[in-house]
Amino acid sequence: MFEQTNENKLEEPKYEMVKQHVMQLLKQDIIRFGEKLPSEHELMSQFNVSRNTIRQAFSELTSLGLIYKEQGKGTYSKFVPKSRNSKKIVAVITTYISDYIFPDIIFGIEEVLSGEGYSMLLSNTNNNKDKETQFLNNIIEHDVAGLIIEPTRSALANINQPIFDELIRKGVKIVFINATYDDVPASSVLLDDERGGFLAAEHLIRLGHTRIAGIFKKDDIQGLKRRKGFVAAMKQYKLPIEINQIVEYETTNEHIHPYILAKTLLSQPDRPTAFVCYNDNVAAIVVQAIRDRGLSIPESVAVVGFDDSKRSIDGSIKLTSVIHPKIEMGRRAASFMIEMLDNQLDDLQFVYRPELIIRESTGVT
Amino acid sequence: MFEQTNENKLEEPKYEMVKQHVMQLLKQDIIRFGEKLPSEHELMSQFNVSRNTIRQAFSELTSLGLIYKEQGKGTYSKFVPKSRNSKKIVAVITTYISDYIFPDIIFGIEEVLSGEGYSMLLSNTNNNKDKETQFLNNIIEHDVAGLIIEPTRSALANINQPIFDELIRKGVKIVFINATYDDVPASSVLLDDERGGFLAAEHLIRLGHTRIAGIFKKDDIQGLKRRKGFVAAMKQYKLPIEINQIVEYETTNEHIHPYILAKTLLSQPDRPTAFVCYNDNVAAIVVQAIRDRGLSIPESVAVVGFDDSKRSIDGSIKLTSVIHPKIEMGRRAASFMIEMLDNQLDDLQFVYRPELIIRESTGVT
DNA sequence: ATAAATTTGTGCGTATGTATC
DNA sequence: GGATACATACGCACAAATTTA
């Protein structure tokens, strides 16, 4: 007799009930690894169902890998190696790996991750959005727990949004560093780039400079914000901003462009007496352009870099620069990741307040 | 009636026959992705078995992920994403990540790996064998395709041999860089450290030095070999080796030890007029010790480093150094890995022949 | 738009085979 | 050998979703 009408079981089939019951027993450690489950017969009478029903429940539990059966002996709880460990990978993608501030950032990340038993799946985009796409697609296959990512050319449209959506849907935690994609909800660890740009400009203004040029990167958010801070400082100190004092470049032809821009600015009749640069790389290029023009630093032209990278103290002249927290930012991004994974959080935010370090390139020797 | 006696079916149950039959249909593309399978009823009459038997076959095929069923519609062949991609990870472990020659090595590795669609699982040991153990254990869980590893403190006993055995048993390809563990059969990409040590010493001998000190690392094979090359040069040029001219340190207290060793050597009555150093880091420390002693470089004391790292040109004096192929070595190690994975090879070897680059620290300005 | 047919889903009962203790 | 437990197999009934007439 089929008693579907009898009780108010709107949804759950009987074998599902049995299955859930057994899963509870396993979950609550009432039946531990290797211990025997009740026999099919026992469960038949306990639940007052047919043997087939029990068998269907067991069958599904078997293919889930929770139990195994031995003919003639019984059915047993299976040893599952501690909470699938293969998820203990955090993917990390940055613009570069071996250059500039990135070894430090990665060092900070690795330190925290490996301390927590996680491994780091690392790649770099080299400012190429296709490489970003490729890596993001890769990690979808790889069952990672989290992703720490520095968006590539973040001021452009985020072509990878669908991939981020899928990652989020899969429960992969995401932490942005240096910049964010606005259309992706995630945690972030940022530097206050706007304030950095402001500090750089303000420093030069206070030194008495009035014709200050800015060279910024156009295709990422950091560039836009540093530019914005630069403009804010000019306004606050009531300095006019001639339109041609601010120039921008994109990452195609990265090494050529800022040099040409600097050269052009320097050949104007009212040439700038100071440069605020997007980063130390650009600053080094500007330094070269100034020297190639036969001008001295800092006497004729002052230069401020950004990021306080090794490059700012490597060259023949030590660069005044805005301090980027590098290792500390890496550590914090990784700590955020751990916290998100442990406590199922999704929206942690931190913004570092930058400071300026003053060196030879703005006149302090 | 149960007709087990009827035919000579010694092993295979009926549902298994049905299952195999359907798997054939799928394998031979007779039923393609998304196409409908025969209904349970059709198969019942075709195989002359009960519906439950068909259902059991289908049930197993479902949990294998080969088919899916839709109530009221039918059973369909499922699209399986081509050949599980999750193995496309190569683990990489080096002494450091963000320092010294390692960003370059890692850059070279990443370049090749990502070009081949592989991702890089990266960690560093920081000269700590326990960290090596931890990482190796980690990657066993992570189903990686290969491992590129710089052995840590390779002159000591390889406590991780059992883990390497397990990795090899699992088919994980291994490439050693910079040094090998003799008890682990694998490919390797090395530098001829012995020749490097020889070149360094020979250079100083040809400059006329006769009292040449060597400071080497004791706990890794590179150190032993560089020392050996140093000794070989002394012998070839028939210079006596006073026992106290060669000193060794271990990586505990890495930054303190070589300094003290150098100071001690410099306070001898017949102090050395030249140093061959294990690497550029040690060389930089020796430079400091010489200066702290009030001696000039290269006039009073000459110094040769090893690895041609950034440090050799960063400091106040540019170091003569033995060239390490860094990026190139990284690329080759990764290429070996790809080749091993593609062609199932296991024993590729390459040894770079080092050259010396001469700079200020041995008298050329 | 409805009814009928088809197909899978859930469930019961029964019988026999085979491995373990 | 006997009891127990899982494995295989058949038959039947009704439910639910989908397609078709």
Domain ranges for chain B: 6-77, 82-191+326-352, 193-324
- Asked if the domains at B6-77 and B82-191+326-352 fall in one CATH topology, the answer is no
Nucleotide minimizing C1' to CA distance for residue B50: D10
Question: Is A6 within 7 A of strand C by CB distance?
Answer: no
Mean pLDDT of successive 10-residue segments in chain A (365 residues)?
Answer: 36 80 82 82 84 87 83 80 66 94 96 93 94 91 92 94 90 96 95 98 95 94 97 94 84 74 92 96 95 94 96 89 98 98 93 96 77
Please report the DSSP string for A311-345 in residue order: HHHHSSSPPEEEEP-THHHHHHHHHHHHHHHHHT-
From the list B63, B99, B119, which residue is nearest A138 (CB)?
A: B119
Binned at pLDDT 50, 70 and 90, residue B10 comes out as very low
| CATH classification (class only), B193-324 | alpha beta
For A249, which DSSP code?
E
Half-sphere exposure of A239 (CA within 13 A, CB side): 21
Domain A82-191+326-352 belongs in CATH node 3.40.50.2300: yes
Q: Is the CB of A16 under 7 A from strand C?
A: yes
Write out the two tokens for A178. 């240096």
pLDDT score recorded for residue B192: 98
Q: Which of residues 118-157 of B touch A (CB under 8 A)?
A: 119-124, 131, 134-135, 138-139, 141-143
Decide: A101 and A323 in contact? Cβ < 8 Å.
no
Continuous H helices in A176-220 = 193-206
Q: Are A158 and A185 in contact (CB under 8 A)?
A: no
Whether A39 sits with its Cβ under 7 A from any strand D atom: the answer reads: yes
Phi and psi at B22, nearest 5°, equal -65, -40
Report pTM.
Answer: 0.78
Across the interface, whether the CB atoms of B86 and A142 are under 8 A apart is answered yes
Instruction: Quickly count: other Cβ atoms within 10 Å of residue A254's Cβ.
Output: 15
Q: Say if residues A119 and A88 touch (Cβ distance below 8 Å).
A: yes
Query: If you search the block for the tokens 């030879």, which residue do you land on?
Result: A360
Chain B residues in contact with A121 (beta carbon < 8 A): 89, 119-122
> Separation of CA A114 and C1' D13 in angstroms?
60
pLDDT band at B222 (very low <50, low <70, confident <90, very high): very high
Residue A82, pLDDT score: 52
pLDDT for position B253 = 64
Determine the distance between B52 (CA) and D11 (C1') in angstroms.
10
- Confidence check: pLDDT of B11 > 70: no
CATH architecture of A6-77: Orthogonal Bundle (1.10)
